[in-house]
């Protein structure tokens, strides 16, 4: 077991969440996913992030069940997919995630995308939180206007918004908005999936050399110092150990400004506002559900 002590942050409902965790996005092979979570727990990670759409909740639960780490010491996050975005389907989706994880409760549960009947789904999350099935509820990939709409409509404010954040897509105004609203920003794809030579970038490397760290460690440290929780992913234990070893140094103000200068203000994946993208990626899920419901009438 690692002796790394990852700091925690208190969410807006008082629940404490580790500031650095481990994600299993794009690890659909259950054997590999289980081993990755086992290795992550052994390395010292206590925040494990999965989702219904990742198709590996069973593997995450199996690794946690077999681990010597106590359940109460592991912060488990999962997410509801858009095909379950209405009140009744969301209730079933929450129970399905719990069943697959083999858990009595989840520490954080998120609406995975800002599409479909988000209000109905959110009400199901609120009820599950009251029932003790979820300790904190939040969202993922919501923009400020969508967050504000949810805040003004529903009694429970999101505790977390998990969004794409990395040196190429820094979203400074959105991060400041969330922090001003008491919503914790959480970064997915902190390394931009390795795009545009992020691990060899000379500007980042020059900063890394000053501290005896790698480009990846500098990026994680930069995000943490911005008040952002971060969930890097790797199936290699040596990289897991490297990614968690970021609490023994601090970037200077000048280095933080240098990192800010890398912003391209462009998603490395897709535009969540683009109607064509919404139709291609998310519309098919919603249409299939609507068709299934029509057939069951």
Q: Which residue from 188, 209, 157, 155 is spatially nearest to 272, judged by alpha carbons?
A: 188
* 54 included as an active-site residue: yes
DSSP assignment of 102-120: T-S-EEEEEE-SS-SSHHH
Q: Which of 54, 87, 105, 211 is catalytic?
A: 54
User: Are 159 and 137 spatial neighbours (Cβ–Cβ below 8 Å)?
Assistant: yes
User: Are 171 and 260 spatial neighbours (Cβ–Cβ below 8 Å)?
Assistant: no
For 278, other C-beta atoms within 10 Å of its C-beta total 18
> 48 φ, ψ to 5°?
-115, 125
Tokens of 49: 């992030």
How far is residue 18's CA from residue 10's CA, in Å, rounded to a whole number?
9
How far is residue 223's CA from residue 250's CA, in Å, rounded to a whole number?
11
User: Are 32 and 235 spatial neighbours (Cβ–Cβ below 8 Å)?
Assistant: yes
Specify the 3-state DSSP secondary structure of 271. coil
Question: HSE of 174 in the Cβ direction (CA atoms, 13 Å)?
Answer: 21
Give me the active site residues, please. Answer: 54
């Amino acid at each position: 077991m690692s002796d790394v002590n990852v700091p925690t942050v208190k969410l807006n409902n008082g629940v404490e969440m580790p500031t650095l965790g481990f994600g299993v996005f794009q690890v659909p092979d259950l054997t590999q996913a289980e081993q990755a979570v086992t290795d992550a727990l052994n390395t010292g990670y206590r925040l494990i992030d999965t989702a219904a759409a990742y198709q590996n909740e069973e593997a995450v639960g199996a690794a946690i069940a077999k681990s010597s780490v106590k359940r109460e010491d592991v912060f488990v996050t999962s997410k509801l997919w858009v095909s379950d975005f209405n009140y009744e389907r969301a209730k079933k989706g929450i129970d399905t995630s719990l069943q697959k994880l083999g858990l009595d409760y989840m520490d954080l549960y998120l609406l995975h995308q800002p599409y479909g009947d988000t209000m109905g789904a959110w009400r199901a999350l609120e009820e599950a939180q009251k029932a003790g099935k979820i300790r904190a509820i939040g969202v993922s990939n919501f923009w400020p206007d969508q967050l504000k709409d949810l805040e003004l409509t529903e009694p429970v404010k999101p505790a977390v918004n998990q969004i794409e954040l990395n040196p190429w897509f820094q979203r400074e105004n959105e991060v400041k908005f969330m922090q001003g609203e008491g919503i914790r920003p959480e970064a997915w794809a902190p390394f931009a999936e390795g795009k545009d030579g992020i691990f060899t970038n000379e500007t980042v490397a020059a900063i890394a050399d000053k501290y005896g760290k790698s480009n990846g460690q500098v990026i994680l440290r930069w995000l943490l110092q911005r008040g952002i929780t971060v969930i890097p992913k790797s199936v290699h234990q040596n990289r897991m150990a490297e990614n968690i070893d970021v609490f023994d140094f601090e970037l200077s103000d000048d280095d933080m400004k240098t990192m800010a200068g890398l912003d391209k203000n462009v998603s490395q994946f897709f535009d969540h506002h683009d109607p064509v993208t919404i139709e291609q990626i998310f519309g098919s899920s919603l249409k299939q559900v609507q068709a299934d419901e029509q057939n069951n009438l």
